[in-house]
């Protein structure tokens, strides 16, 4: 160890320790956890354990007089501001929503939405700072989330386990699909993934009839599975899609064109380059044409421009891409 490192290292330890301590101290101040949880049952009791433990809900929410956190709404009945506990409140909000939109929306849909898409409805008087509870560092899985929903619905509401677990509504099923995809992708956020996709991928790929046409259509990509998609992004040449091979054309003057063979007719071929430009080459001018299977037209350094979080987010976004059934 050189001298600078020897001096800086203990200093870093002190800084790190202080941050950890502040983290614990704040958690204690803002409510304090109760018990921690192992495997949970989908039941109000299971959810209660998550709420006051792994889910860290108590760091921002209280339930009536239990806990002291105020960053998020109280989930119990508390003073004039909270005349209804969460279960009853969800029923009221759902009723308002159904009337406003003229489509069925249930209390369970409301509670599940507040976890699956916290930004979709922001409670009056609060900031849009509800945690994404299925992403790191909280990373609840679907079972744990269902348990928490059961707990919240049991607070003054009508606890309907069928609506939560065995026979959820279509809206709730969609939120569950989003949460599962995110959990499978290491807790990515598909909403943020959509933005990463727009910025890095849409110029070459089509989704639901929109976007570029250099690469394969990704509308149904979830069917290929997480592992495949992950390799396709990290090492494109390793999982080259059939029909999208990389062609190298050298003409008689020695000029080289690299891209996809997008047209092949009697007298000429079209090569589509990575930037989308199409080059037409007369067959009579071609000296050599061959496939390079060591390099994809899709850049292999895309992941370098992304943070780990971007990568998790985009994986969870792609795991939701499934073509809609034909009407």
Q: How far is the CB of 15 from ligand HEC (least distance, A)?
A: 23
Query: How many angstroms separate the CA atoms of 180 and 223, rounded?
Result: 15
User: Does position 173 bind ligand HEC by CB under 6 A?
Assistant: no
d(C-alpha 282, C-alpha 268), whole Å: 4
Applying CB under 6 A, which part among 27-35, 161-169, 203-211, 263-271 lies near ligand HEC? 203-211
Any contact of residue 207 with ligand HEC (CB under 6 A)? Answer: no
Is residue 182 part of the contact set for ligand HEC (CB under 6 A)?
no
Contact between 82 and 73 under an 8 Å Cβ cutoff? The reply is yes
Binding piece for ligand HEC, criterion CB under 6 A, among 12-20, 99-107, 163-171, 230-238: 230-238
**Which member of 244, 251, 281, 295 binds ligand HEC (CB under 6 A)?**
244
* Residues 23-42, interacting with ligand HEC (CB under 6 A): none
In whole angstroms, give the CA distance from residue 219 to residue 217. Answer: 6
- Nearest C-alpha neighbor of 164 from the set 191, 143, 193: 143
Structure tokens that stand for 303 in this block:
């992941």
Asked whether 225 and 271 are in contact (CB, 8 A), the reply is: no
**By the rule CB under 6 A, 71 interacts with ligand HEC:** yes
Give yes or no for a cis peptide into 137 (omega within 30° of 0). yes
Which residue lies nearer to ligand HEC by CB, 170 or 301?
301
Tell me the CB-side half-sphere exposure of residue 314, using CA atoms within 13 A: 22
What is d(CA 231, CA 145) in angstroms, rounded to the nearest whole number?
30
- Considering only 111, 135, 185, 271, the residue that binds ligand HEC (CB under 6 A) is 111
Beta carbons of 321 and 178 less than 8 angstroms apart: no
Contact between 215 and ligand HEC by CB under 6 A: the answer reads: yes
Residue choice 49, 94, 133, 207 for contact with ligand HEC (CB under 6 A)? 133
| Binding-site ranges for ligand HEC (CB under 6 A) | 55-57, 59-61, 71-73, 86, 89, 111, 114-115, 118, 122-123, 126-131, 133, 140, 148, 152, 200-201, 203-205, 214-216, 218, 221, 229, 232-233, 236, 239-241, 244, 260, 274, 296-299, 302, 314
């Amino acid at each position: 160890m050189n001298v600078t490192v020897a001096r800086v290292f203990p200093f870093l330890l002190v800084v790190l320790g202080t941050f950890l301590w502040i983290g614990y101290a704040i958690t204690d101040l803002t409510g304090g956890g109760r018990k921690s949880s192992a495997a949970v049952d989908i039941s109000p009791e299971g959810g209660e354990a998550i709420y006051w433990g792994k889910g860290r809900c108590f760091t921002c929410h209280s339930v009536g007089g239990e806990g002291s956190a105020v960053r998020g709404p109280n989930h119990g009945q508390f003073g004039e501001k909270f005349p209804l506990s969460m279960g009853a409140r969800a029923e009221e909000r759902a009723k308002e929503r159904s009337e406003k939109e003229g489509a069925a929306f249930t209390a369970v849909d409301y509670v599940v939405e507040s976890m699956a898409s916290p930004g979709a409805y922001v409670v009056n008087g609060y900031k849009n700072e509800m945690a994404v509870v299925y992403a790191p560092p909280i990373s609840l899985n679907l079972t744990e989330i269902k348990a928490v929903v059961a707990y919240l619905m049991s607070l003054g509401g009508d606890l309907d386990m069928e609506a939560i677990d065995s026979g959820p509504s279509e809206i709730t099923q969609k939120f569950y699909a989003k949460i599962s995809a995110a959990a499978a992708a290491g807790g990515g956020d598909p909403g943020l993934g959509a933005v990463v996709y727009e910025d890095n991928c849409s110029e070459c790929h089509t989704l639901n009839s929109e976007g570029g046409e250099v690469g394969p259509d990704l509308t149904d990509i979830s069917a290929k599975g997480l592992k495949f998609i992950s390799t396709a992004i990290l090492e494109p040449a390793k999982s080259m899609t059939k029909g999208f091979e990389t062609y190298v054309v050298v003409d008689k003057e020695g000029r080289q064109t690299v891209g996809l063979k997008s047209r092949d007719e009697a007298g000429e071929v079209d090569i589509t380059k990575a930037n989308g430009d199409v080059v037409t080459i007369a067959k009579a001018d071609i000296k050599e044409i061959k496939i390079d299977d060591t390099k994809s037209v899709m850049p292999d350094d895309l992941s370098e421009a992304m943070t780990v979080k971007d990568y998790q987010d985009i994986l969870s976004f792609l795991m939701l891409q499934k073509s809609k059934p034909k009407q």
